[in-house]
Structure 1
Amino acid sequence: MASIRVADEPAFVLHSIPYKETSLILDVFTRQYGRMALIAKGAKRPHSVLRPVLQRFQPLLVSWSGKSELRTLTKSEWVGGTPALVGDALLCGFYLNELLVKFLAREDEYETLYDHYMATISALSEMDTGSSRLEQILRPFELALLQETGYAAALDYCVESNASPIEAEKYVYQPERGIRPWQADDPGHWPILSGRALLEMAAGNFSETDTLLESKQLMRFLLGLHLQDQVLTTRQILIDLKKI
């Protein structure tokens, strides 16, 4: 396999672990190449030019080379323009990163999801301290993640009518199928959703209280279904704090 060189690829650091005495292994989310494992040689040295740049939740341009699964980071440049996350916004940022690490296979392209992530980080960075908008910011990203990775069906399509949901009708999300009309004998743990909320979620509109409540029910169901026994630490903290 020939060595591959990539220059100035938009990226975010999701996670890092120490490697030997002076280096780091980075889990980065890139726009064209998806999740990549990169070794940042010497990044732990006090005077390394990489050390102050490799921060989470900051847009970067990264370059790398190599032919193994673990490539070598050759350059990283801070793009700027995103204020640091603090408080609840910081906790939500770690939650987003945990979701990406759990759901994305390495080196699969997710350009649309990358753009959703960048927009969500930007919205979190601009949020006022103590804001109640966390769910309105996080719900669209959760839905985008599940749909982009194939874990959620379209919300504006009923599998039985082959048409859009009717606003005044009730529906359920049936695993492996998607949206269909609610029936009285459906399992109690399947989310019951109004046609109106489904259409608003599909359109990316989470401003209405009822839609936000129904989207919480649906996202908890879908994430729990596909995470199974895997625990996301920050997700559980946010749930316990009643933030999401």
Structure 2
Amino acid sequence: MASKRISEEPTYVLHRYDWSETSLILEVFTRHHGRIALVAKGAKRPTSSFRPILLPLQMLHVAYGGEAEIRTLKSAEWQGGHVMPTGEALLSGYYLNELLLTLLARDDPHPTLFDVYSQVVQVIASQHGEVLEAALRTFELLLLREIGLLPQLHVQTMTLRDLDPHALYVLVAEGGLRQAHADERNGIAGAQWERLQDALDAPMPFTPTLRASSECNAALKPQLRALLHYHCGVKTLRTRQMMIDIQAL
């Protein structure tokens, strides 16, 4: 039986590692087929056309074939658009990639999430500071929602009671959204949680969620970080630890 061949597939490289003296294994995120593994034969050779373009945070169109768990990369074309991020922006991109590698199952398509990832990559390549932070929070929210790990943000999770617009609430790993205790510092007003839910429910959620998350980024960041660490099964993600180590230098 002829092997299945996919062509012109929008793709981002999430991670790459050596397979042999001349070849690489790629973990990639494709728009229509989700996260898959590819072998790029001969990609480490100086004359390989793969060598200069199999980079993270760069949109590619790839062709690949095979029925095994690891398919064979046939061709890859860089789609242009922006220069390679550097510094804090590059680490932020690696952080997104680590989340996808940890939380997405292979061969599980997420075209909407792929489009959000592409939008966040564009922000990473061109923005810094508050806009970059809001873009990361937006991706975290939409990723958790896409894979079914984000509770509804317009009601209290355990009781399904409506939120008081003026009361403070927190998002916790095992309890969902609940009213903040007196000693909890990162509470967010019920009205703000409702704005976040409305943004997530929008037909094209990236921009409205970016705006809504920017209004409460400082309080939202530690809550989403704790929730992601819980579901990833780690205390600190590797890229997050790298950021901490660099800032301590």
Q: Fold-level match, TM-score > 0.5? A: yes
Does residue 218 of structure 1 match 2:213? no
Q: What count of residue pairs does the alignment treat as equivalent?
A: 235
**Aligned match of 1:149:** 147
Which deviates further from its counterpart, 75-84 or 155-164?
A: 155-164
Secondary structure of the residue that 2:213 maps to in structure 1? Answer: coil
TM-fit CA distance, 1:181: 4.0
Secondary structure of the residue that 1:133 maps to in structure 2? Answer: helix
**Aligned match of 2:79:** 79
- Matched residues in 1 for 2:234 and 2:85: separation? 29
Q: Deviations over 1:215-234 (max 9, x none)?
A: 11321221122123364221
User: Could you say which structure has the higher helix fraction?
Assistant: 2
Q: Which runs of 5+ in 1 are unaligned?
A: none
Query: Cα gap change, 1:75/1:164 in structure 2, threshold over 3 Å: closer, same or farther?
Result: farther
Equivalent of residue 193 in structure 2, options 198, 204, 214: 198
TM-fit CA distance, 1:114: 0.7
Query: Cα gap change, 1:177/1:2 in structure 2, threshold over 3 Å: closer, same or farther?
Result: farther
Residues 130 and 214, structure 2, Cα contact 8 Å, conserved in 1: no
Task: Report the identity percentage.
Answer: 42
TM-fit CA distance, 1:172: 3.7
Residues 169 and 179, structure 2, Cα contact 8 Å, conserved in 1: yes
Secondary structure of the residue that 1:37 maps to in structure 2? Answer: strand
**TM-score of the superposed pair, with normalisation by structure 1:** 0.86
**Aligned match of 2:234:** 229
Residues 191 and 221, structure 1, Cα contact 8 Å, conserved in 2: no
**TM-score of the superposed pair, with normalisation by structure 2:** 0.84
- Matched residues in 1 for 2:58 and 2:244: separation? 25
**Aligned match of 1:238:** 243
**Aligned match of 2:88:** 88
- Matched residues in 2 for 1:153 and 1:135: separation? 22
TM-fit CA distance, 1:50: 1.1
Which deviates further from its counterpart, 226-235 or 147-156?
A: 226-235
Residues 10 and 59, structure 2, Cα contact 8 Å, conserved in 1: yes
Amino acid at match of 1:201: L
**Aligned match of 1:29:** 29
- Matched residues in 2 for 1:156 and 1:147: separation? 14
TM-fit CA distance, 1:189: 7.7
Q: Deviations over 1:168-224 (max 9, x none)?
A: 12334354553244567xxx789643212312333211232xx11221132122112
Residues 64 and 74, structure 1, Cα contact 8 Å, conserved in 2: yes
Secondary structure of the residue that 1:115 maps to in structure 2? Answer: helix
Residues 64 and 72, structure 1, Cα contact 8 Å, conserved in 2: yes
- Matched residues in 2 for 1:225 and 1:84: separation? 31
Residues 155 and 201, structure 1, Cα contact 8 Å, conserved in 2: yes
Q: CA RMSD in A?
A: 2.4
Amino acid at match of 1:207: S
Q: Which runs of 5+ in 2 are unaligned?
A: 200-208
